[in-house]
């Protein structure tokens, strides 16, 4: 027979345990409660600095290495990427579609296609479609040129942008990619970029010293007897003196006493477009033996008409004038770089280039 007293004791024990649990829970909440929202409106008691915020800031501040990006670009892959553009753009000269013709777009003035009605936003964002400007525009058209009528969302992958720009650059049979870093680096870094950025730019850089050698037999003898890379400071000083005595220009003397080691560092930015191996053309003409070479004479390279129309060799003074202001020196050339303003940088770069194949 079921014992009523046992049932009563069991129920009482259960209720007592539940009461103790509820009282304990209430006491714990009173002591440790964070309040409504679980601390959302309260400052943290302490913060552990992991360095992630600083690292993120540093990464954001670092500019992309344009030279490396375009050095590894693949035009054949860019042709496949261009399939995304075909709905609005064509590559035939003067054949506009929903968007303007992209024939010869690299190095072209912004908003320059005849017969196309531009929005006006692009002209406010850039003057020339350099490789760098195209790279930034294709990443986020609306962000680069607010108000543009281009509805394309952009190419998020850096590799895709570089590849399609490389494809567009060679579609007209010429290569005009210019790596501009003047806005991203100090003036001395910009110097190196300008030199390699254009076909003639890099050629003229070394040609300046070639001019010295052609104009002054004494300088040629000095260069032959002691290569620039092996010449010590005394030999460099001797060359500078000989140049001045023979009637050379002040810039020629400046190149003779320039620092080829600094020029070699500057040339690293040129490597995206130019090679130092004999006959090995890249985006720009090869620079082996460029000092003293006739203007626009590298075998197998297709120069712009502006450079083909200039006779003679690259003298030091000509090279200095060209690199200082390419558009003024050769109106109509496709070099988008504004010019290398630092004369000492030009001299250092030429001092290095004259040691290659001369």
Among 17-21, 57-61, 127-131, 269-273, which is the least confidently predicted range? 57-61
Q: What is the pLDDT of residue 198?
A: 43
Q: What is the pLDDT of residue 45?
A: 53
Cα separations (Å) of 105 from 8, 102, 193, 320?
A: 94, 5, 21, 28
8 A C-beta contact, residue 341 and residue 324: yes
- Residue 243: the pLDDT is 43
Residues in CB range of 262: below 8 A, 6 or more apart: 188, 348, 352
Angle separating helix axes 260-267 and 187-197, nearest 10 degrees: 70
The pLDDT of residue 18:
92
Is residue 230's pLDDT more than 80?
no
Q: Looking at residue 81, what is its pLDDT?
A: 93
Contact 287, 353 (CB under 8 A): yes
Q: Collapsing DSSP states into helix, strand and coil, what is residue 353?
A: helix
| Average pLDDT of span 307-324 | 82
- Residue 283 pLDDT: 67
Q: How confident is the model at residue 317 (pLDDT cuts 50, 70, 90)?
A: confident
Contact 195, 205 (CB under 8 A): yes
Quick one: average pLDDT of 28-46?
59
Is the predicted pLDDT of residue 347 greater than 50, yes or no? yes
d(CA 91, CA 167): 11
Q: Whose CA is closest to 139, among 154, 160, 158? A: 154
Confidence band for 94, pLDDT divided at 50, 70 and 90: confident
Q: Is the pLDDT of residue 269 over 90?
A: no
User: What would the DSSP string read from start to end of 57-108?
Assistant: HHHHHSPP-HHHHHHT--HHHHHHHGGGTTTT---STT---SS---TT-TTP
Q: pTM value?
A: 0.38
Cα-trace Rg, the chain: 33
Give the pLDDT band of residue 203 (cuts 50, 70, 90). Answer: very low
3-state SS class at 56: helix
In the chain, residues under CATH classification 1.10.760.10 are 67-169, 250-355
Write the CA distances from 218 to 181, 213, 309, 357, integer angstroms. 37, 8, 30, 19
Angle (CA) 130 265 263, round 5°: 95
pLDDT band at 86 (very low <50, low <70, confident <90, very high): confident
- Residue 43 is predicted with a pLDDT of 52
Q: What is the pLDDT of residues 235-266, one digit of tens each?
A: 444 444 444 444 458 888 898 999 999 888 87
Res. 169: pLDDT tops 80: yes
**313 contact partners, CB below 8 Å, separation of at least 6:** 207, 210, 211, 214, 292, 293, 294, 295
Between 39 and 280, name the one with better pLDDT. Answer: 280
Give me the pLDDT at residue 34, please.
56
In terms of Cβ atoms closer than 10 Å to its own Cβ (0-12, 13-18, 19+), residue 21 is: exposed
User: Under CATH, which number does the domain 250-355 receive?
Assistant: 1.10.760.10
- In this structure, which CATH number among 1.10.10.60, 3.60.10.10, 1.10.3720.10, 1.10.760.10 belongs to the domain 67-169? 1.10.760.10
Of residues 70 and 22, which shows the higher confidence score?
A: 22
Q: Give, to the nearest 10 degrees, the angle between helix 343-353 and helix 260-267.
A: 90
Q: Is the pLDDT of residue 38 over 80?
A: no
Write the DSSP string, 173-189.
Answer: S--------TTTS-HHH
């Amino acid at each position: 027979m079921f014992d009523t007293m046992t049932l009563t004791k069991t129920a009482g024990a259960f209720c007592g345990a539940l009461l103790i649990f509820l009282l304990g829970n209430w006491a714990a909440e009173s002591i440790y409660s964070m309040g409504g929202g679980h601390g959302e409106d309260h400052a943290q008691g302490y913060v552990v600095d992991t360095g992630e915020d600083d690292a993120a800031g540093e990464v954001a501040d670092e500019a992309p290495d344009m030279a490396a990006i375009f050095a590894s670009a693949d035009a054949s892959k860019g042709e496949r990427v261009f399939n995304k553009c075909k709905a609005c753009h064509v590559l035939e000269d003067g054949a506009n579609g929903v968007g303007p013709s992209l024939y010869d777009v690299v190095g072209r003035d912004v908003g320059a296609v005849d017969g196309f009605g531009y929005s006006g936003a692009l002209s406010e964002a850039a003057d020339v479609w350099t490789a760098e400007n195209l790279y930034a525009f294709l990443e986020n058209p609306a962000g680069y040129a607010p108000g543009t009528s281009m509805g394309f969302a952009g190419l998020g992958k850096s590799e895709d942008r570089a590849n399609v720009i490389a494809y567009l650059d060679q579609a007209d049979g010429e290569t005009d990619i210019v790596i501009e870093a003047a806005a991203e680096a100090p003036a001395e870094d910009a110097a190196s970029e300008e030199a390699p950025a254009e076909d003639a730019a890099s050629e003229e850089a070394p040609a300046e010293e070639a001019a010295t050698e052609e104009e002054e037999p004494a300088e040629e003898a000095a260069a032959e007897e002691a290569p620039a890379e092996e010449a010590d400071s005394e030999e460099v000083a001797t060359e500078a003196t000989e140049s001045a005595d023979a009637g050379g220009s002040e810039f020629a003397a400046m190149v003779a006493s320039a620092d080829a080691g600094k020029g070699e560092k500057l040339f690293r930015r040129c490597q995206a477009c130019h090679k130092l191996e004999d006959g090995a053309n890249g985006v720009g003409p090869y620079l082996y033996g460029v000092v003293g070479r006739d203007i626009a004479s590298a075998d197998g390279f297709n120069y712009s008409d502006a450079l083909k129309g200039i006779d003679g060799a690259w003298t030091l003074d000509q090279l200095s004038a060209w690199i200082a202001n390419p558009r003024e020196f050769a109106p109509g050339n496709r070099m988008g770089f504004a010019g290398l303003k630092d004369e000492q940088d030009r001299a250092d770069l030429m001092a290095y280039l004259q040691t290659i194949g001369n």
